[in-house]
Chains A and B, each alone.
Chain A
């Protein structure tokens, strides 16, 4: 009786304030964040299966950020009737207020056989509020039943078997709220990184079949209709596709792993090193560029990139370092990305030219 009253009472109140409950996504950008991820109802059924609810669209980046070999499942949601637009083809989409980007980090227990299950670590939300983008991190509980809001970050020990059958472990560091901005800063504002034309312009295999992501977003009403065919629009190279040009693969990798800070408008622009696919000047790209404030991060090497000589290049030293004071990126990595370093080594080795002798 009392329970019934309470449900009715609060149910009506909820209706009055415009919340229908039900099974649709619950996102009100004016409200403070839920403590529990499941309350948003981005996923249907058991939350850990990450089955997207209506309006929650999965997406992938052509070349993703390396995060200690974690797998990532990305989704986008926008309020009904709203859509993103493109103000500058080179920059992130302009998202409508209330949009949410959802990024789940997990490891397969055994990467060779995904059916053996996975461990979800954290789910990061970027919510576009009237006051700007807000970064929220939800940490999954041990039972994998739900994830809980955590602003100060956390450290997790993870064990898994990689795709070669080797047992791996890492100390996965879940970022605090300030650290989110450490990477997601562009023109001094917190901004999404991935949703740019050149990172999304690829085929994705949706439930109802394969389709170019930019076309799918338009079909879904999530992106303003584009004047150009997707084939005419830019796309970065897939970093691990040996059919693509080595330089394009290397720059695509550097852009997504380094270029957000090391770009003209990123927080590491004070270094003068710009690692993006749009960088034209070879000195700014690091070729024969002396470090400015690398400290011990230089590894005793004189230039960021020495053509033909990866072992003399600071870039490689910092990618291969695990010392927090030297390594790059500064955040989001506690392991060496061997395949990524291999690519950048191959690219530097292929470059021609010399750097001058200096004091």
Chain B
């Protein structure tokens, strides 16, 4: 009998090896079994042929462990629409994310991920990613124990995120980190700490998104000590950032915890960045802040080309509308702004800490962003604390009225 099984397994083995790869385009979808949903889906994510289409039926499905796809190329996971197919991780006992993808040429569309214990959807080191019509959320509302990121591609290439929704993430709803060639468009991010965050990423086109009721709308950061040491060539345009005055419910410690409620856009240590044609309205603390990493007073190493400064930041043709409100008092950053400006909302703030090498060019240019802007340059390089900045800061916007060539992003 032993030989029989042995032989049988060899026969099965050969048939498996000899079978020609299936044509990606004629693959009929494999429908995940409703009765055995979690196990069947995870098995498919391990055994599917390259190019397979895995279809999720309509319904709400309880998932107890992280789901993962690793290494199989060309997989599509397709639900019946983000309002119809819901993967609920409320009873999750294991795994640091809801769905983890490490695979090239992957398409995810038409489903929701709710209440994952860690990040909602994480994509690591994947090339050729399409995310469409997804909703990542936490159903208990704002809570510091919610997962950090909703949609979280990191160290990925060729990423398209469109028509997705992300809410109640305790860090960022849509977070693109250390990635290259990325398009983020037509998405909705609301009630997150950060709506959309672009970090250490290159060739990014972020447009026509709506970020509202987050703590901060859109963040564009370069942070130190990361394998992709810095990002550049990022365009942020035609987005609407409005009323991002939501409480900062992130856990203490992370960068985003310093974000004051009422922040439209925040730029940290970025270069080659163009911010244009956006509408930034209703923020009680500041519309747009641009600071160097030095301003955070966090330690860092300068290596692999990371620079703590911003330069070549081109801000033009945006519309700013500040509300009649009082700036945030709940965060250190908010308190600082309140102390500096008597609690009045500001439109544009820069820290005035510039690259010592003037060959890097203009730190920042502002052009055609409307009249009557409340602009402040803190000139913090020469200042000691809030008292110091009260003496050094100025409102000389004219000093930065200049133009820079527009950037081109050919991401996909």
In angstroms, Cα B296 to Cα A356, docked, is: 11
Minimum distance in angstroms from A306 CB to a CB of chain B:
11
List A residues 345-359 near B (Cβ within 8 Å).
Answer: 355-359
In angstroms, Cα B250 to Cα A298, docked, is: 10
Given contacts A181-B70, A270-B178, is CB(A299)–CB(B333) below 8 Å?
no
In angstroms, Cα B100 to Cα A245, docked, is: 39
Q: Which of A81-89, A100-108, A110-118, A171-179 contacts B (4 or more CB under 8 A)?
A: A171-179
List B residues 1-25 near A (Cβ within 8 Å).
Answer: 2-7, 9-10, 12-13, 16
In angstroms, Cα B39 to Cα A357, docked, is: 48
Given contacts A182-B68, A188-B125, is CB(A270)–CB(B299) below 8 Å?
no
Given contacts A31-B9, A39-B2, is CB(A152)–CB(B144) below 8 Å?
no
Whether B296 lies near A358 (C-beta < 8 A) is yes
Whether A295 lies near B149 (C-beta < 8 A) is yes
A301, CB-defined interface residue at 8 Å: yes
In angstroms, Cα B251 to Cα A4, docked, is: 71
Whether A176 lies near B255 (C-beta < 8 A) is no
A45, CB-defined interface residue at 8 Å: no
Given contacts A10-B7, A171-B93, is CB(A295)–CB(B332) below 8 Å?
no
In angstroms, Cα B300 to Cα A254, docked, is: 23
In angstroms, Cα B227 to Cα A267, docked, is: 11
Q: What is the interface residue range for chain B against chain A?
A: 35 or more
A344, CB-defined interface residue at 8 Å: no
In angstroms, Cα B118 to Cα A295, docked, is: 8
A326, CB-defined interface residue at 8 Å: yes
List B residues 104-131 near A (Cβ within 8 Å).
Answer: 116-119, 124-125
Q: Which of B42-50, B205-213, B358-366 contacts A (4 or more CB under 8 A)?
A: B42-50
Whether A270 lies near B155 (C-beta < 8 A) is yes
Q: Which of A14-22, A119-127, A213-221, A223-231 contacts B (4 or more CB under 8 A)?
A: A14-22
In angstroms, Cα B102 to Cα A34, docked, is: 27
Whether A302 lies near B297 (C-beta < 8 A) is no
In this complex, the member of B47, B147, B254 whose beta carbon has the largest number of chain A beta carbons within 10 angstroms is B254
Minimum distance in angstroms from B331 CB to a CB of chain A:
9
Write out the residue numbers on chain B whose beta carbons fall within 8 Å of the beta carbon of A323: 117, 145
Of the residues B70, B145, B155, B177, contact of A296 by C-beta under 8 Å = B145
Given contacts A176-B46, A270-B177, is CB(A293)–CB(B149) below 8 Å?
yes
Minimum distance in angstroms from B247 CB to a CB of chain A:
15
Whether A13 lies near B3 (C-beta < 8 A) is yes
In angstroms, Cα B368 to Cα A278, docked, is: 53
Residue of A nearest to B255 (CB): A290
Whether B124 lies near A32 (C-beta < 8 A) is no
Residue of A nearest to B251 (CB): A296
Write out the residue numbers on chain B whose beta carbons fall within 8 Å of the beta carbon of A359: 258, 295-298, 332-333
Whether A300 lies near B148 (C-beta < 8 A) is no
B146, CB-defined interface residue at 8 Å: yes
Given contacts A11-B3, A288-B299, is CB(A32)–CB(B45) below 8 Å?
no
In angstroms, Cα B289 to Cα A275, docked, is: 35
B391, CB-defined interface residue at 8 Å: no
Whether A297 lies near B148 (C-beta < 8 A) is yes
B301, CB-defined interface residue at 8 Å: yes
Write out the residue numbers on chain A whose beta carbons fall within 8 Å of the beta carbon of B147: 295-296, 325
Write out the residue numbers on chain A whose beta carbons fall within 8 Å of the beta carbon of B100: 178, 182
Given contacts A39-B2, A270-B154, A298-B254, is CB(A283)–CB(B148) below 8 Å?
no
Of the residues A14, A182, A270, A295, contact of B6 by C-beta under 8 Å = A14
Whether A292 lies near B3 (C-beta < 8 A) is no
List A residues 237-272 near B (Cβ within 8 Å).
Answer: 267, 269-272
In this complex, the member of A14, A325, A331 whose beta carbon has the largest number of chain B beta carbons within 10 angstroms is A325
Write out the residue numbers on chain B whose beta carbons fall within 8 Å of the beta carbon of A198: none
A342, CB-defined interface residue at 8 Å: no
Minimum distance in angstroms from A187 CB to a CB of chain B:
12
Minimum distance in angstroms from A219 CB to a CB of chain B:
32
Given contacts A324-B96, A331-B95, is CB(A34)–CB(B46) below 8 Å?
no
Given contacts A178-B68, A295-B171, is CB(A325)–CB(B10) below 8 Å?
no
Given contacts A295-B254, A298-B252, is CB(A151)–CB(B46) below 8 Å?
yes
In angstroms, Cα B397 to Cα A67, docked, is: 59
Of the residues B42, B152, B298, contact of A153 by C-beta under 8 Å = B42
Residue of A nearest to B64 (CB): A155
Minimum distance in angstroms from A74 CB to a CB of chain B:
24
Residue of A nearest to B39 (CB): A152
Of the residues A10, A35, A270, contact of B226 by C-beta under 8 Å = A270
Whether A13 lies near B7 (C-beta < 8 A) is yes
List A residues 129-176 near B (Cβ within 8 Å).
Answer: 151-153, 155, 171, 173, 176
Write out the residue numbers on chain B whose beta carbons fall within 8 Å of the beta carbon of A152: 39, 42-43, 46
Given contacts A32-B9, A153-B65, A325-B96, is CB(A355)–CB(B251) below 8 Å?
no
Write out the residue numbers on chain A whose beta carbons fall within 8 Å of the beta carbon of B297: 356-359
Whether B124 lies near A178 (C-beta < 8 A) is no
Residue of B nearest to A327 (CB): B96
Write out the residue numbers on chain B whose beta carbons fall within 8 Å of the beta carbon of A11: 3
Given contacts A30-B13, A283-B299, is CB(A14)–CB(B145) below 8 Å?
no
A62, CB-defined interface residue at 8 Å: no
Which of A's residues lie within 8 Å of B, judged by CB? Answer: 6-7, 10-11, 13-14, 17, 19, 21, 26, 30-35, 39, 151-153, 155, 171, 173, 176-179, 181-182, 188, 267, 269-272, 281, 283-284, 288-302, 314, 323-327, 330-331, 334, 355-359
Q: Can you sample 13 A-B contacts with CB below 8 Å?
A: A10-B7, A270-B226, A270-B227, A283-B299, A294-B253, A299-B251, A300-B252, A301-B252, A324-B66, A324-B96, A324-B118, A325-B147, A358-B299
